[in-house]
Structure 1
Amino acid sequence: MILIRKLLFPFAILYGFVTAIRNFLYDKAVLKSFSFDVPVIAVGNLSVGGTGKTPQIEYLIRMLQENYQVATLSRGYKRKSKGFLLANSKSTVSDLGDESFQYHTKFHNLQVAVDADRVNGISQLLHQTIPPQVILLDDAFQHRRVKAGFYVLLTAFDDLYIDDFMLPTGNLREYQSGAKRASVVIVTKCPIDLSEKQRLEIEKKLQVKSYQKLFFSSISYDEFVYSETTKKAIKEIKESEKLLVSGIAKPKPFYDFVQKDSDEKLTFNDHHDFTESDIDSIRNKSKGKIIVTTEKDYMRLKGKLKPEKLFYLPIKSTFIQNELEFINTIKNYVEQSTRNR
Structure 2
Amino acid sequence: MHSPRLLLYPFALLYGLAVIFRNLLFDIGLLRSKSYPLWVISVGNLSVGGTGKSPHIEYLIRLFGRLSQRQGNLNFTPSKTAVLSRGYGRSTKGFRIVTAQSTAEEAGDEPVQIKRKFGSVHVAVDEKRTRGIAKLLEADKDINLFLLDDAMQHRYVKPAINILLTNYHKPFYNDHLLPAGTLREPGSGYKRADIIVVTRTPANLPDVEKKMTIKKIAPLINQSIFFSGYIYDNPLPVYATISSIPKIVKTTSVVLLTGIANSNDFRKHLESKSKEVFHFNFADHHRFSMVDIMKVTDTFKNIGNPDKIIITTEKDSTRLQQPALVEQLGSLPVFYIPVRISMHDEQGFEEQLLRLLNAYQLYTPLQNKP
Which bracket does the TM-score occupy, shorter chain normalised? over 0.9
CA distance in 2 between counterparts of 1:233 and 1:74 reads 34
* Matching residue of 1:240: 252
CA distance in 2 between counterparts of 1:338 and 1:122 reads 19
**SS of residue matched to 1:214:** strand
Equivalences for residues 114-263 of structure 1 within 5 A:
114-229=125-240, 230=243, 232=245, 234-236=247-249, 238-259=250-271, 260-263=274-277
Equivalences for residues 1-341 of structure 1 within 5 A:
2-66=2-66, 67=68, 68-229=79-240, 230=243, 232=245, 234-236=247-249, 238-259=250-271, 260-287=274-301, 289-303=308-322, 304=325, 305-306=329-330, 309-321=333-345, 323-334=346-357, 337=360, 340-341=365-366
CA distance in 2 between counterparts of 1:332 and 1:84 reads 33
Q: CA deviation at 1:279?
A: 2.0
Q: CA deviation at 1:81?
A: 1.5
CA distance in 2 between counterparts of 1:320 and 1:241 reads 32
Which range moved further: 128-137 or 32-41? 128-137
Q: What are the ranges of 5 or more consecutive residues in structure 2 without an aligned counterpart?
A: 69-78, 303-307
**SS of residue matched to 2:83:** strand
Query: How much is the aligned-residue C-alpha RMSD, in angstroms?
Result: 2.0
Give the conservation status (yes or no) of the 8 Å contact 1:247–1:271. Answer: yes
Q: CA deviation at 1:336?
A: 5.4
Q: CA deviation at 1:65?
A: 3.1
Q: CA deviation at 1:223?
A: 3.6
Give the conservation status (yes or no) of the 8 Å contact 2:99–2:112. Answer: no
Give the conservation status (yes or no) of the 8 Å contact 1:50–1:156. Answer: yes
Q: CA deviation at 1:94?
A: 1.1
Q: Which amino acid aligns with 1:142?
A: Q
Alpha-carbon spacing, 1:231–1:194, altered in 2? closer, same or farther (3 Å): farther
**SS of residue matched to 2:16:** helix
Give the conservation status (yes or no) of the 8 Å contact 2:239–2:330. Answer: no
TM-score normalized with structure 2 length: 0.86
CA distance in 1 between counterparts of 2:235 and 2:280 reads 21
> How many pairs were matched up?
339
TM-score normalized with structure 1 length: 0.93
**SS of residue matched to 1:190:** coil
**SS of residue matched to 2:319:** helix
Q: CA deviation at 1:280?
A: 2.1
Q: What are the ranges of 5 or more consecutive residues in structure 1 without an aligned counterpart?
A: none
Q: CA deviation at 1:232?
A: 3.0
Greater Rg by CA? 2
Q: Which amino acid aligns with 2:245?
A: K
**SS of residue matched to 1:43:** strand
Question: Per-residue CA shift, 1:84-117, capped at 9, x if unaligned?
Answer: 0111243211111011010011111010000001
CA distance in 2 between counterparts of 1:185 and 1:107 reads 25
